[in-house]
Amino acid sequence: MPAIATLKRRLVGIIEPDFGLLDQLLALDVLTLRQVADVRSERTVYRRNDVLLDLLLTEDQCNRFLTALQRTRQQHVANLIMSHGGKNASLCCYELCSGKLWLFK
């Protein structure tokens, strides 16, 4: 769990939600309009990212989140997730809010 918490802290600091990512997540049916509004209502980018990551609950959402990151020129963030912060290249995405690990094949 500490490794996942560390990764989440890193992601909260580097994800850029305000320039197309939330729109992509809405278009890809990762988030609902209400969830996007909830994320946008947070005062700081760090809180917006924290709320955003807590909304990723399924393997499918994580896959589409990675797609949205790539489409919004945040490949570096997708790479960090896919390599588990540089520790394991076979692990792609996490259910960060509960500390569960999704394994993508």
Question: Per this entry, what is the length of the chain?
Answer: 105
C-alpha triplet 77, 19, 73: angle, nearest 5°:
40
- 105 pLDDT above the threshold of 60: no
Question: For position 45, which CATH number holds?
Answer: 1.10.533.10
Residues spanned by the domain of 45 = 2-102
- 95 pLDDT above the threshold of 50: no
pLDDT of residue 39: 98
What tens digit of pLDDT does each residue of 49-82 get?
Answer: 999 998 988 878 888 999 999 999 999 998 888 8
Structural domain count, the chain: 1
Q: How many helices (H) and strands (E) does the chain have?
A: 6, 2
Judge whether 46 and 93 are in contact, CB under 8 Å: no
Judge whether 92 and 81 are in contact, CB under 8 Å: yes
Q: What is the rounded CA–CA span in Å between residue 38 and residue 42?
A: 7
What tens digit of pLDDT does each residue of 27-51 get?
Answer: 999 999 999 999 999 999 999 999 9
Instruction: Specify the pTM.
Output: 0.80
